[in-house]
Amino acid sequence: MLKVILNSIILFSIVYSQSLEITAPNGNETIYNNDDYTIQWITSGNISPVDLSWSDDGGATFTAFQQYMTNTEGAGSFVWTIPNHLGVNADYRIKIFDSSTAEYNDMSDASFTIETYDIGCTDIYEANNEISAGEVITLGQTYNGCISSFSDIDYFSFSLSTTGTLTINLANTNNALSNSIMYLYKNGYSYL
């Protein structure tokens, strides 16, 4: 009887895949200038650091806005304050990529929109965005103003030489005045 002994060597390797995937914004969202928006992604494997870029032309070109962020496997996020200089456009995308090699990357699956808030009021005192152009108001009168955008700054001028009441009503639609600060100045000193 003939016995055959076979020796075999089995070679195998474990492939650990690495990937980055943008989960928000991933297309068809509407976000607003000067708002905080949480960009979210999922990482598989050890990919760190990462960069974030935005595109306003559907992904043809990108501009980096956050670089060399420490990243860990799993869910990641970055709170992005949408800059006022980004124009109203429906063709924005976000891209995340490996800062070291750019081998691993992903971008929003579809475009999203950046808009400005429709404040819902008209500022009849514009243009009073500089102290020298401050609208002169009279004590004892009521003025209905409007902060017409997130970047709107309004100056008013009044005299405290007489006794009276000053009332200023500001429209606050779409939370335009959230996180706003009002100051009253006289001769360079802040009163409020």
What number of other Cβ atoms are within 10 A of residue 146's Cβ?
22
- Measured over the CA atoms of residue 135, residue 139, residue 145 and residue 149, the dihedral's sign is positive
Quote the tokens at residue 137.
């108001």
Looking at CATH, the fold of the domain delimited by 19-115 is given as Immunoglobulin-like (2.60.40)
Per-residue pLDDT of the chain (192 residues; tens, 9 = 90+): 556 565 666 665 555 578 889 999 999 999 988 788 999 999 888 888 889 999 999 999 999 988 888 888 888 999 998 887 788 888 999 999 888 887 888 999 999 999 876 656 666 666 666 666 677 777 666 666 666 555 566 677 666 566 666 666 655 545 545 555 555 555 544 444
As a whole number of angstroms, the distance between CA 34 and CA 181 comes to: 16
Helix (H, G, I), strand (E, B) or coil at 131: helix
Q: Where are the domains of the chain?
A: 19-115, 131-187
Name the pairing type of β-strands 156-157 and 135-136.
parallel
| DSSP state, residue 175 | T
